[in-house]
Amino acid sequence: MNKPITNLDVSRRGFVKGAAGLTFSFALSGALLGRPSEAYAAGGTKLNAWVTIAADNTITILCPTSEMGQGVLTSLPLILAEELDADWSKVKCELAPGNPKLFGGAHKMFPGAQVTLASVSVPAYYMPLRTAGAQARKVLLDNVAAEWKVPVAELTTDKSTVIHAKSKRRISYGDVVKFAKVPDELPKIAEGDLKKSSQFKLIGRKDIKRVDVPSKVNGTAKYGIDVQVPGMVYASLLHAPIDGVKVESVNADDVKKIKGVTHVLSLPFGVAVVADTVEASRLGRFALNVKWDVSGAKAAPFDSEKAKEEYASKAKDPNAEAMEAFKTGDADKALAGAAKTLEAVYWSEHTYHAQMEPMNAVAKVSDDGQSAEIWVGTQVQPLASAVVAGVLKTTPDKIKINPQLLGGGFGRRIWPDAPVQAAVIANIVKKPVKLMLTREDDIMAARPRPMTHHVMKAGLDDKKSLVSWHHRIVAENVDAVAAPPRFAATKGRDYIGWVGMSQDFYKIPNLKADAIREQRGMRVHAWRGIGAGYNKFVSESFLDEVAAARGVDPLDFRLELTKDQPRAQAVIKAVAEMSNYKKKRPGRGLGIAFSDYHDTLTAGVAEVSVDKATGKIKVHNYWIAVDPGLVIQPENAQAQIESAIVYGLSGALSEELSMKGGAIQQSNFNDYHVMRMSDMPELHIKIIATNNPPTGMGEVGIPTVAPAIGNAVAQLTGKRLRHLPMSSDRVKKALA
């Protein structure tokens, strides 16, 4: 007999843990009850469900995480539909409400959480959704078996139909729910009840299209910014340049003279202009003249250039407190005994998410200020309700979040600042408020990837083997700002900021990664690819420096370091073959890099040329081989890799925020440069799908991009670029 899935070894299979509370129910009325999420939120019915089956054979499956372009609105319901044996053409996918008890995932990093971040949607829900699908199918089968008085073992399913081959009877799921009874206690599903991957009919199929695409070519897709509710007014915001400032003076009287402007509100996060029309709110925002009192702002002294000097001196200070991040063997001792040592210093600048939809939210607050309804595209619905509740001094259950599509997330929509701001303003003006940040304020309100400083040390023994590796990072800790409970629980480990420093797939006998914490009040946050973005740039670039010192080709060096890791070897060899890596190209450099970010293995090769006069790097081709384990939706997986490469290229070559007086100096796309079509290389992607459990996909294309480019430039010019972004100015200087 199969063991119930809830009893499996959760330490090894943390992902099944969340399957415990899975339930579903049918709309027995035979008609769809509208959006299940609304039916659920209305309360009163037992629709605590993942899946709803209607008499017309329509199956509605809830997607627990947010759709921000990564395709979960298709891929997650597809997983459930697979085990349900659903007719995919009759499946409707809907966003689930925020309710971790029902819709929490089972990722080892975020057990029980309903979050859309860190590329965890598919890994977190792969087992829970399969279990839910199998459970729903079992209820259907049990009902048919009872109705037809046949053993359940004689029944099979295909495309939303239950089949009894012996009697040649068939019945559609829609017809089953007309008589089906859902037991109070839902059937337990064991691992053996699930399909083998060879039995999959939907997972892995190349012709499965994204369900949201049709609405995104005709203007009907609804994002947070598209919401309008009756009686609403508009708010714009001159965002505070840094946290902790106060308004010293504001020309409120002048701004209130603008036709339509009703309020000018000095608030902790900025000055809001509320108006009857959107155009008046914006006119008012741009007419504001605010003087800030920065005396209470911790970040006020922050200056990017000055801070760099201080970071660098702290890194060298023998008395600076460095926290151990990762350790193997004794790196210091091995370095001291090394025949040859190398040392290099690396940097990365603050970067901005630049999601295309500026931050916004619509909020409606009750007259007593104790409950609210929010319309917003957010990466973490439960966080939005918790934080809004905290600000309104009420409880999260009193905050109803109506989830919308996200016009890009990339980490920016984890923290719910816009919902909070909209709720605060709505609570003051006692009307529903639609808050939309201008692009200028969206940048001012940025929650950037941190500026980082790195000191790298390596030691080779007399046989030129890499025997010691020391990666030191000096940076503001992202977990301290973005995940304070985890930061406290780990006594100050910066999970987000340190990802990419541990080199789990390289055989290095003595490794040390440590971190010096800066605390300067910067609002640093998760940015697509998190720490791997800069840490892999640093470590994979430095690895090439070591290879050069050793006189070995960077490809061969990586193959040697991963010789006990067949999956790593496979992606490295694949990308070498795809790019014909060892073939020299006149005027062009080739660089390789490897990454293990979030358990997905990637290897990338960049082919570049450099305009020595301007310092501009041109990436001509980029090849990547990816092993993400099982692939749910190959077409979308391909698209995610393409997307992350472009994001990585943009961060590698041009993106940079600079701060003066703590405030961001950039204001719009004229001075914050993101990749455009003319910057694009040819992309060549190979996804090596395996039957291993699915790992992250949405960000994994990023980490290899920057180091592959830097390594290619070094191969071409002999000059090592050690500062992100590798912008024209820096390259020109390095080549001079």
Partner 1 sequence: MAVAFTVNGTAQSVDVDANTPLLWVVREHLKLTGTKFGCGSGLCGACTVHVNGKAVRSCQTTMSEVAGKKVTTIEGLSATSSHPLQKAWVAEQVPQCGYCQSGQIMQAAELLTKTKQPSREQIVAHMDGNICRCGTYPRIVRAIQRAAREG
CB under 8 Å, gap of 24 or more: what pairs does 275-281 form?
275/233, 275/234, 275/235, 275/236, 276/233, 276/234, 277/234, 278/234, 278/434, 278/436, 280/234, 281/234, 281/235, 281/236, 281/436
| Signed CA dihedral, 364, 113, 688, 603: sign only | positive
Binding residue (CB under 8 A) for partner 1 from 220, 230, 393, 551: 220
Q: Respond yes or no on whether the N-terminal peptide bond of residue 725 is cis (omega within 30° of 0).
A: yes
In the complex with partner 1, which residue's Cβ is closer, 219 or 318? 219
Residue 351 identity (one-letter amino acid): T
Q: Does 646 bind partner 1 (CB under 8 A)?
A: yes
Residue 655 CB, nearest approach to partner 1 (Å): 11
Candidates 436, 501, 513, 664; binder of partner 1 (CB under 8 A) is 436
Q: Contact between 618 and partner 1 (CB under 8 A)?
A: no
Q: Does 668 bind partner 1 (CB under 8 A)?
A: yes
Quote the least distance from Cβ 600 to partner 1, whole Å. Answer: 18
The answer to whether residue 146 forms part of the interface with partner 1 (CB under 8 A) is no
- Determine if 222 is a binding residue for partner 1 (CB under 8 A): yes
214 near partner 1 (CB under 8 A): yes
Min CB(162)–partner 1 separation in Å? 33
- Interface residue with partner 1 among 84, 547, 675, 700 (CB under 8 A) is 675
Q: Quote the CA–CA distance of 282 and 437 in Å, as a whole number.
A: 9
Task: Say how many CA atoms lie within 13 Å of 283 toward its Cβ.
Answer: 15
Determine which residue in the list 228, 318, 367, 519 makes contact with partner 1, applying CB under 8 A. Answer: 228
592 is an interface residue for partner 1 by CB under 8 A: no
β-bridge mates for residue 607, sequence order: 590, 621
Residue 670 as a binder of partner 1 (CB under 8 A): the answer is yes
The radius of gyration of the chain's CA atoms, rounded to the nearest angstrom, is 27
Contacting range for partner 1; rule: CB under 8 A; set: 92-100, 225-233, 301-309, 593-601: 225-233
In the bound complex, what is the minimum distance in angstroms from residue 651's beta carbon to partner 1?
Answer: 11
CA nearest neighbour of 562 among 502, 513, 511, 504: 504
Strands 91-95, 659-660: pairing kind: unpaired
- Smallest gap from residue 320 Cβ to partner 1 (A): 37
Chain-centroid distance of CA 362 in Å reads 23
Decide: is 226 part of the binding site for partner 1 (CB under 8 A): yes
Of the candidate residues 166, 216, 340, 430, the single one contacting partner 1 (CB under 8 A): 216
| Binds partner 1 by CB under 8 A, chosen from 77, 407, 521, 696 | 407
CA–CA separation, 484 vs 608, rounded Å?
A: 41
What Cα–Cα distance (Å) separates residue 670 from each residue in 246, 655, 666, 729?
Answer: 29, 12, 8, 17
282 — phi, psi (to 5°)? -75, -40
Helix (H) or strand (E) holding 307: helix 304-316
For residue 246, report the phi and psi dihedrals to the nearest 5 degrees.
Answer: -125, 155
3-state secondary structure of 58: coil
Q: Among 669, 691, 729, 733, which residue sits at the site for partner 1 (rule: CB under 8 A)?
A: 669
Site for partner 1 in 55-114 (CB under 8 A): 68-71
Q: How far is the CB of 221 from partner 1 (least distance, A)?
A: 5
Residue 438 interacts with partner 1 (CB under 8 A)?
yes
- Supply the minimum distance, in Å, between the C-beta of residue 67 and partner 1: 8
Judged by CB under 8 A, how many residues of this single chain contact partner 1? 63
Is 512 a residue that touches partner 1 (CB under 8 A)? no
Q: Which of residues 230-289 bind partner 1 (CB under 8 A)?
A: 234, 259, 277-279, 282
Closest-CA residue to 534 (of 289, 357, 726): 726
**Residue 408 interacts with partner 1 (CB under 8 A): yes or no:** yes
State the nearest-atom distance from the C-beta of 206 to partner 1, in Å: 11
Q: Is 527 in the site for partner 1 (CB under 8 A)?
A: no
Nearest residue to 723 via CA among 452, 504, 528: 452
Distances (CA, A) of 229 to 343, 363, 374, 507, 695: 59, 9, 11, 58, 39
> For residues 685, 688, 694 and 698, what is the CA-based torsion angle, rounded to 10 degrees?
-10
CB of 286 to partner 1, least distance (A): 9
Among 176, 182, 245, 354, binds partner 1 (CB under 8 A): 354
Given the complex with partner 1, which of 144 and 406 has the nearer CB atom?
Answer: 406
Asked if residues 445 and 417 have their Cβ atoms less than 8 Å apart, the reply is yes
Q: Give the residue, chosen from 65, 643, 654, 727, that forms a contact with partner 1 under the rule CB under 8 A.
A: 643
Complex with partner 1: residue 159 or 684, whichever CB lies closer: 684
* Of the candidate residues 125, 311, 347, 410, the single one contacting partner 1 (CB under 8 A): 410
- Candidates 11, 218, 319, 519; binder of partner 1 (CB under 8 A) is 218
Residues that bind partner 1 (CB under 8 A): 68-71, 209-210, 212-223, 225-226, 228, 234, 259, 277-279, 282, 354-358, 405-410, 436, 438-440, 635-636, 639-640, 642-647, 650, 668-670, 674-678, 680, 683
